[in-house]
Copies of this chain bind each other. A is one copy, B any other.
């Protein structure tokens, strides 16, 4: 932490700050400047609370320097984490494709999609049994019955099941039937739920909250990891901005930003980011090109009849086309990395 004094701070003001720092057991480094004094703090473990200083006389600003996370950071674990999800991996050299309908509706719908995406090479299947809907009057998902259908998909097609849980009962059920527990954007700071999934032993797909900063996103992952579950996959799904041409603004820059700080894998959800069918393919390409470890894509055999989020769902043919394009882009990046690695 750095305490910046006002230009008109008195010597007594400075000394009061030094006193408080020492009282807290830290070391103060005073730096008198031409216009004002700044005081560095060292010796702290973890972040210092700016509160202790902000309202003291003569203090202009208290600036955080140390970041508050540990477990997610490359400083702790320099090599990249590869997360095992069922019988496959996310974060390794292969691009992870998670495809499937927004919501589980019928056995037929789910199996039609599963067959197509399995054939095209996806290893993960998505589909919601519990749906967080803005309106209480909208379709809320099929619950445990939906999860049973997903479990059959795994048995029949060898696809690993990624599905959302919205509360503790849901987590218990997804743990039983699925392979990866998805925490939705609206629950990214539902800290009780984060702690609860931190105690399970299933990998967690953590979606970025609609207006979460990078630090808040990483600290949500830290909540899960602090409980002992280190298998966290991050997911960018678009942030809320003033823009209206897409449902959300897909923030591609978070991918290199995460990779600079954290060993955790990060994937992209272009379906929820865009909210429009015609945008999903280009945004998927952008996500892979920027360096994401995978994609999660909504696919529906008949989008205009979907019970939720049909507008953004890809048809089976569109998904196949999308997959061919992103695979080609991913191969270029992989070649590039190999070239760098073998230098």
Report A's interface with B, CB cutoff 8 A.
Answer: 2, 4, 6-8, 20, 29, 31-36, 38, 40, 42-43, 45-47, 49-56, 61, 63, 65-66, 68-69, 75, 132-138, 166-168, 170, 186-187, 189-193, 195, 210-211, 213-216, 219, 222-223, 226, 239-246, 249-257, 260, 273-274, 276-279, 282-283, 285-291, 303-306, 308-311, 325, 328-329, 332-333, 336
Q: How many copies of this chain does one complex carry?
A: 4
- Are A213's CB and B226's CB within 8 A? no
- Are B291's CB and A289's CB within 8 A? no
Give which listed residue, B42, B274, B311, contacts A34 with CB less than 8 A.
B42
Which B residues lie within 8 Å of A277 (CB)?
Answer: 54-55
- Are B189's CB and A63's CB within 8 A? no
- Are B219's CB and A245's CB within 8 A? no
- Complex CA–CA separation, A56 to B311 (angstroms): 10
- Complex CA–CA separation, A287 to B329 (angstroms): 13
- Complex CA–CA separation, A306 to B328 (angstroms): 37
Give which listed residue, B31, B49, B276, contacts A29 with CB less than 8 A.
B31
Given contact pairs A2-B38, A51-B310, A253 touches B241 in the complex (Cβ within 8 A): no
- Are B285's CB and A219's CB within 8 A? no
- Are B38's CB and A40's CB within 8 A? yes
- Are A286's CB and B290's CB within 8 A? yes
27 residue pairs bridging A and B, Cβ less than 8 Å apart: A2-B40, A29-B29, A34-B45, A38-B42, A49-B310, A51-B306, A51-B309, A52-B304, A52-B310, A68-B135, A132-B191, A134-B189, A134-B215, A136-B195, A136-B226, A167-B168, A187-B189, A211-B211, A213-B242, A214-B245, A242-B242, A250-B251, A252-B282, A252-B283, A256-B282, A257-B279, A325-B336
